[in-house]
Amino acid sequence: MGLLIVLSGPAGVGKGTVCTALRSRMPELVYSVSATTRHPRPGEIDGVNYFFKSREQFLQMIDHDAMLEHAEYVGNFYGTPRDFVDETLANGKNVILEIEVQGAMKVKDKFPEAVMVFLLPPSLAELKARITGRGTETLDTINTRMNVAVEELSLLSQYDYAVMNDEIDNACDKIRSIILAENCRRERLPAHILAMGAATEKA
């Protein structure tokens, strides 16, 4: 069984950038593409960055239980298509989800064994600067995102790990170390290795 890694944090913290850099270092890590009803930003590609859906299409996926999780965030739906994640984990491959905090909490309920990683900004002022720097958000949207970010930060205690995204390489190094360590946890060892340890204890 593969390992499910959930990477989340406030909008603008750099989840996408960090996840892309991490995948270049760990090509065996399978990225689960999320679905969303928001419009594509410049340079984003359907099926690569997100599956861009109409509101009607997204609601139909929810009705058919085709989503592992979903949440409405600042007027748009975001969610994780379920079948791909289940099949990839069953094939023994590690999957990383890069999702919003609301969705991460739902995944945690369904997958208690998931490794929860919260990506932190260096400060709220830096987070606002990053969101503003995109040049794609109105002032009202920026203020809404900042208010939501404060609420999301209060959920930090629900995560296994916290990584500050002050510098992309440093953040990637830390997350990679977390994944390698989690793969070595005793309870995730193959059955024949655990049996060998049990036999040694009896001897």
**Residues 55-90 pLDDT 10s:** 999 999 999 989 999 988 888 999 999 888 999 999
Strands 115-120 and 4-8, by their bridges, are parallel
In this prediction, residue 199 has a pLDDT band, given cuts at 50, 70 and 90, of low
**Residues 137-158 pLDDT 10s:** 888 888 888 998 999 999 999 9
* Cα–Cα distance, 108 to 183 (Å, whole number): 18
CATH number, position 198: 3.40.50.300
Provide the residue range defining the domain that includes 170: 4-202
pTM (2 decimals)?
A: 0.80
Domain count, the chain: 1
Residue with tokens 């390698």: 180
What secondary structure, in 3-state letters, does 75-120 show?
CEEEEEEHHHHHHHHHCCCCEEEEECHHHHHHHHHHCCCCEEEEEE
- Lowest average pLDDT, out of 16-20, 162-166, 171-175, 192-196, goes to 192-196
Of the two residues 198 and 56, the one the predictor is more confident about is 56
In this prediction, residue 34 has a pLDDT band, given cuts at 50, 70 and 90, of confident
| Residue 203 pLDDT exceeds 70 | no
pLDDT at position 188: 76
